[in-house]
Amino acid sequence: MSSIEIDRVSKAYDGPLVVDSLSLSVPSGTVFGLLGPSGCGKTTTLRMIAGLLRPDSGDIRFDGVSVLAVPPERRAIGMVFQQHLLFPHMNVEQNVSFGLRMQGVRPAASRSRVDEALDLVRLGGMQRRYPAQLSGGQQQRVALARAVVTNPGVLLLDEPLSNLDTRLREQMRALIRSVQRRLGITTIVVTHDQGEAMELSDQMAVMFDGSIAQVGRPVELYARPDSARIARFLGATNLIPARVVDTTAADLLRIDTPFGSLDVCPGNSAPTTGTPRVVASIRCEHVAIVDRHMDGPTDSGVSVRDGARNIFAGVIDDVVVGAGRITYTIDVRGTRITAVEVSDAERTRGSTVQVRLPCDRVRLLPFDPGLAGA
């Protein structure tokens, strides 16, 4: 299995840079997620790794060896595209064995490897079917089998699940993970779906406007984003414009928000610009709703002081009941705070509640004029 290094790669179609001096390295045998909104250059990056596009500058290395001069057909890669792109004139067996045939593997040997690959994606016995006779999920699984049957050093997945419905997508994620683990193949998956990237990747990068904004393990990125934009892209969060007022206390940081002052545990700040203006981010599921009649937080493990300080009264403005979780929009002195509760006990709209923002869950991010208050 190959390690992949991308070294200051840039690419422009006619006009501005689509990928701007991008560098990243993927250790052998791991899954790397490339996450970003559409048009951020992630697919362009993947296509350059595949060799389908040529970088304008920079280098791409597999196992330390530059592959820029190697055409895609000799890069030993497997690729799954957004559309399954199964050859409609070939049956499943012919599709999956295509890569083997290109390598000159004899039909007898090829057959057993095709069977193996199809078992891997749980499609044993479908050899004689034609792509048109398969469901969308099956088609994509055949495409996966076709990509891995040749034992490529690198597996590239370009939004492989975006054409499937939700339920199928979850199954497919699990399948991709199990196939990857079984084969130990170095994998890069490109997606705009943060859940997909987080579930699939060992390491992932968030990409905006042709460059990588942040790299790290998915949990790390989710909990400790570097900017408001990353925080919001990775999941529902409250972004509150704030001003740092007191940095004297060693164990607590105090910030001013539109609805009152808030205590923040130190050490949970992104490398900021040093100005007092910041954006405070707190994930919706970390906002605790406390009923009014209670005197204070009852959940264990929270110090009384902490609880007492970061509690604010608010009125429930909107209730959206989802599957097993309820999303509330709460008006806290003019600021709308979104809270998600894993519960099926619905609170009524218009009722007054207390909202607690746990101090260790509030992350301070650099001030972002485009996002503050959004």
Residue 103 lies near another protein (rule: CB under 8 A): yes
Stretch that binds another protein, among 37-45, 86-94, 114-122, 189-197 (CB under 8 A): 86-94
Residue 99 lies near another protein (rule: CB under 8 A): yes
Q: For every residue of the chain, which 3-state class applies, written as one string?
A: CCCEEEEEEEEECCCCEEEEEEEEEECCCCEEEEECCCCCCHHHHHHHHHCCCCCCEEEEEECCEECCCCCHHHCCEEEECCCCCCCCCCCHHHHHHHHHHHCCCCHHHHHHHHHHHHHHCCCCCCCCCCHHHCCHHHHHHHHHHHHHCCCCCEEEEECCCCCCCHHHHHHHHHHHHHHHHHHCCEEEEEECCHHHHHHHCCEEEEEECCEEEEEECHHHHHHCCCCHHHHHHHCCEEEEEEEEEECCCCCCEEEEECCEEEEECCCCECCCCCCCEEEEEEEHHHCEEEECCCCCCCCCCCCHHHHHHCEEEEEEEEEEECCCCEEEEEEECCEEEEEEECCCCCCCCCCEEEEECCHHHCEEEECCCCCCCC
Q: Cβ closer to another protein: 77 or 255?
A: 77
Q: Cβ closer to another protein: 50 or 288?
A: 50
Q: Cβ closer to another protein: 139 or 214?
A: 139
Residue 140 lies near another protein (rule: CB under 8 A): no
CA-based nearest residue to 345, from 318, 319, 317: 319
Residue 208 lies near another protein (rule: CB under 8 A): no
In the block, tokens 């929270």 appear at 302
Nearest distance, CB of residue 29 and another protein, angstroms? 20
Interacting residue with another protein among 70, 81, 129, 177 (CB under 8 A): 81
Residue 69 lies near another protein (rule: CB under 8 A): no
Residue 324 lies near another protein (rule: CB under 8 A): no
Nearest distance, CB of residue 197 and another protein, angstroms? 22
Q: Cβ closer to another protein: 83 or 335?
A: 83
Residue 83 lies near another protein (rule: CB under 8 A): yes
Q: Cβ closer to another protein: 88 or 350?
A: 88
Nearest distance, CB of residue 130 and another protein, angstroms? 6
Residue 72 lies near another protein (rule: CB under 8 A): yes
Nearest distance, CB of residue 168 and another protein, angstroms? 16
Q: Which of residues 147-176 bind another protein (CB under 8 A)?
A: 147, 150, 156
Residue 130 lies near another protein (rule: CB under 8 A): yes
Interacting residue with another protein among 79, 189, 204, 364 (CB under 8 A): 79
Residue 15 lies near another protein (rule: CB under 8 A): no
Interface residues toward another protein, by CB under 8 A: 50, 52, 71-75, 77-79, 81, 83-85, 87-89, 98-99, 102-103, 130-132, 146-147, 150, 156
